[in-house]
């Protein structure tokens, strides 16, 4: 494929006035490269400099948490104030100095945080995880209205610090079973007050977070959102509710919507549940392209789809269909951080994303290795090394469990001293 016919090379103008230099984006992945007291590190700068050098148009960070009391994993970066502004500026410049836009993904885990990491986990309602996951995740406490208002304000403050640090924008994480997704889901949100009880009230929290961020950063700063097409969970967030949420966000002025799907309990975002029913669907590489086409048919908003893309031809076919504007890549960039350079020239990466299994059925069912194994590859790149695409799943799992246990202990100890 010639570079001049490769749709990946086309720039994209967003409604806030910014322009992405091409249609390739690095989607969010869990890095856990922060310190155990949740501050950014030089490893993040090295990793993002490597990705920016590959030619990506947009780079979205891993989880940036808005509250030190609400971590998703040990080693999360937390931004509550300007204490780490110099390092945050270096992180942003690692991308922008090479022409890439960089958006910080802002998140609150809600109930989706491993047992013992936080002093307590809150959620819209006190709904436990399914039985086989109860040993890993505690039943959360229902959030109070005061706590809900505090969280909304924290999203805004974190976004404002990111803007001051030189990030090109922020992405609100409202997918994959985290807090904002929990508020949207009738399974997790069983409230009967102004924050739940109907689809309109369940999406009130997401809209309030967006409004507060926009109030604090202004109209010239990119604000995007990552949203599930559906939760793929009985009684969860449906495609119909997702479409109505997208409609409300478009009316509110969102700059871009990234479409994904699934939760920790049903990890469709990793492909674990993506079994196409039609041959025409199977021929498409992207997991959520069909839903994106439905959105595009009724709404005018830049769309990014992440999950399942394998080839330059498949990415171009998706762009040519008009169903999306930005191709999101994640796992491929953990095993081949230079892949965008080839894709922008119309060539495929020599690496292929493969299922990561341990042989331990409960672990493999959760899809947890789609986080743990790839996180180990990112840490290698952050140290100036190369990933190990053929690392075994079981050994990576055992090493990750040991590291995670130590990280949880260190995080709790440091919090107790502060």
**Checking phi first, is residue 110 left (phi over 0); if not, alpha (psi -120 to 50) or beta?**
left
Helices then strands, each counted (H, E), the chain: 15, 13
Crossing angle of the two packed helices 312-321 and 289-298, in degrees rounded to 10: 20
CA–CA distance, 188 with 184 (Å, rounded to integer): 8
Predicted confidence (pLDDT) per residue in 252-305, tens digit: 999 999 998 766 665 555 454 344 444 444 456 788 999 999 999 999 999 999
Report the chain's C-alpha Rg in angstroms. Answer: 20
Which sign, positive or negative, has the C-alpha torsion 109, 304, 95, 162?
A: negative
Lowest mean pLDDT among 216-230, 277-291, 315-329, 355-369: 277-291
For the chain, domain boundaries: 3-355
**CA 217, 260, 198 angle in degrees (round to 5)?**
75
DSSP H helices, 111-230, are: 145-165, 179-184, 199-202, 204-217
Query: Domain 3-355 is in which class?
Result: alpha beta
> How many angstroms separate the Cα of 330 from the Cα of each of 124, 150, 309, 334, 411?
29, 31, 10, 7, 27
pLDDT, averaged across the chain: 91
3-state secondary structure 343-401: HCCCCCCCCCCCCCCCCCHHHHHHCCHHHHHHHHHHHHHHCCCCCCCCCCHHHHHHHHH
Predicted confidence (pLDDT) per residue in 165-215, tens digit: 999 999 999 999 999 999 999 999 999 999 999 999 999 999 999 999 999
CA–CA distance, 259 with 291 (Å, rounded to integer): 8
**pLDDT tier at 231 (50, 70, 90 boundaries)?**
low
């Amino acid at each position: 494929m010639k570079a001049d016919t490769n749709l990946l090379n086309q720039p994209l103008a967003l409604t806030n006035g910014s322009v992405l230099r091409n249609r390739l984006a690095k989607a969010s992945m869990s890095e856990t490269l922060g310190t155990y007291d949740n501050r950014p590190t030089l490893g993040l700068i090295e990793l993002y400099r490597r990705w920016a050098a590959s030619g990506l148009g947009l780079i979205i960070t891993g989880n940036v948490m808005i509250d030190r009391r609400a971590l998703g994993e040990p080693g999360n970066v937390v931004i509550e104030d300007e204490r780490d502004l110099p390092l945050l500026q270096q992180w942003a410049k690692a991308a922008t100095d090479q022409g890439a836009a960089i958006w910080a993904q802002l998140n609150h885990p809600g109930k989706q945080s491993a047992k013992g990491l936080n002093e307590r986990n809150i959620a819209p309602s006190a709904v436990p995880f399914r039985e086989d996951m109860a040993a890993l995740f505690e039943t959360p406490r229902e959030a109070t209205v005061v706590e809900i208002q505090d969280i909304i304000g924290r999203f805004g403050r974190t976004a404002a610090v990111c803007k001051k640090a030189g990030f090109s924008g922020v992405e609100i994480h409202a997918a994959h079973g985290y807090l904002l997704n929990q508020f949207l889901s009738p399974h997790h949100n069983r409230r009967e007050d102004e924050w739940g009880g109907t689809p309109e009230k369940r999406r009130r929290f997401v809209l309030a977070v967006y409004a507060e961020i926009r109030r604090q950063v202004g109209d010239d700063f990119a604000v995007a959102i990552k949203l599930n097409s559906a939760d793929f969970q009985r009684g969860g967030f449906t495609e119909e509710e997702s479409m109505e949420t997208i409609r409300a966000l478009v009316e509110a002025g969102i700059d871009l919507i990234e479409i994904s799907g699934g939760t920790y309990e049903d990890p469709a975002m990793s492909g674990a549940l993506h079994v196409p029913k039609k041959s025409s669907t199977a021929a498409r590489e992207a997991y959520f392209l069909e839903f994106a086409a439905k959105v595009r048919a009724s709404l005018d908003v830049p769309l990014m789809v992440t999950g399942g893309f394998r080839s330059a031809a498949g990415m171009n076919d998706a762009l040519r269909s008009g169903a999306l504007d930005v191709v999101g890549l994640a796992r491929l960039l953990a095993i081949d951080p230079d892949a965008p350079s080839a894709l922008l020239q119309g060539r495929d990466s020599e690496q292929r994303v493969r299922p990561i299994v341990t042989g331990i059925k409960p672990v493999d069912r959760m899809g947890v290795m789609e986080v743990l194994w790839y996180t180990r590859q990112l840490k290698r790149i952050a140290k100036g090394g190369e990933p190990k695409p053929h690392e075994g799943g079981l050994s990576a799992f055992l090493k990750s469990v040991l590291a995670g246990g130590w990280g949880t202990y260190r995080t709790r100890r440091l919090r107790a001293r502060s």
